[in-house]
Amino acid sequence: MSDEIRRTEERLVYANPYVRVFDDSVRFPDGRAGTYVRIASATPGEGAVIIAHYRGRYALVRTWRYALGQAQLAFPRGFAHGTDVLQTARNELFEEVGATVTAAEVLGYVTPDSGLLAQRVAVVLVDIEDEPTGPHDSEVSNVTWVSPEELISLVADGTIEDGFTLAAMALHAVHLQRPAEEK
């Protein structure tokens, strides 16, 4: 028996410029019929979470997360700006931090909520050469630059609980442990 849940009908129930929400009819592996809610990006391409490195420090942005009803401190991130994920990372970093990328590398991908979201998000490590100018996006209230030790402390004390940031930190830790010839 396959573990695949097959879509038998796609029903778009809501759309805006950012997301499309579906309430799909499905067939479960045991033959039962059912439904599944699926949220997909309204634009082609993959979003990005950015690990921005500047003079030995990492950028964290404070943004209001409406769904949670609270501000969060996290790595910059955003929806796709097209199919080139490195361009998405450059655009988001400029919007949220006011920085220009000098080097960028995709470390891997995360699926933030694979039970609900039909989206992969790239984790992009970027180097910044010039002094960042600050946010150009009204969603970001401030940018904080932290050392690697401060970043770990913010996770340890519960200040950082954003799933994108935690997943990006895990991929970055793996990247740092790989031999140079594998990078």
Residues 148 and 74 in one domain: yes
Residue with more model confidence, 53 or 129: 53
104-130: b or e for each residue (b if 16 or more CB lie within 10 Å)? beebbbbeeeeeeeebbbbbbbbebee
Tens digit of pLDDT for each residue in 54-108? 999 999 999 999 999 999 999 999 999 999 999 999 999 999 999 999 899 999 9
Specify whether the CB–CB gap between 93 and 126 falls below 8 A. yes
Residue 168 placed within a domain: yes
Specify whether the CB–CB gap between 139 and 92 falls below 8 A. no
Residues 52 and 114 in one domain: yes
Residues 108 and 142 in one domain: yes
Q: Kindly report the CA angle at 148 between 142 and 154, in degrees rounded to 5?
A: 60
Average pLDDT over residues 3-18: 95
Which residues face 127 on adjacent strands? 53, 103
Residues 54 and 138 in one domain: yes
Number of domain units in the chain? 2
- Please report the pLDDT score of residue 181 as a whole number: 66
Residue 113 placed within a domain: yes
- As a whole number of angstroms, the distance between CA 138 and CA 22 comes to 29
Residues 36 and 52 in one domain: no
- Please report the pLDDT score of residue 16 as a whole number: 96
Residues 95 and 170 in one domain: yes
* Mean pLDDT, the chain, integer: 93
**For residue 1, pLDDT beyond 60:** no
Residues 37 and 95 in one domain: no
Residue 112 placed within a domain: yes
Specify whether the CB–CB gap between 130 and 52 falls below 8 A. no
Residues 36 and 84 in one domain: no
- Please report the pLDDT score of residue 183 as a whole number: 60
Tokens of 32: 């039962």
Q: Identify the domain containing residue 129 by its residue range.
A: 47-182
Residue 1 placed within a domain: no
- Please report the pLDDT score of residue 178 as a whole number: 81
Placement of tokens 């499309």 in the chain: 20
Residues 172 and 104 in one domain: yes
Residue 25 placed within a domain: yes
Tokens of 6: 């097959």
Q: What is the CATH number of the domain that holds 148?
A: 3.90.79.10
- Please report the pLDDT score of residue 38 as a whole number: 96
Residue 149 placed within a domain: yes
Residues 15 and 52 in one domain: no
Specify whether the CB–CB gap between 155 and 169 falls below 8 A. yes
Tens digit of pLDDT for each residue in 122-160? 999 999 988 888 888 788 999 999 999 999 999 999 999
Residue in 53, 5, 8 with CA at minimum distance from that of residue 29:
5
Task: Let me know how long the chain is.
Answer: 183
Residue in 118, 119, 45 with CA at minimum distance from that of residue 87:
45
Residues 70 and 159 in one domain: yes
Residue 53 placed within a domain: yes
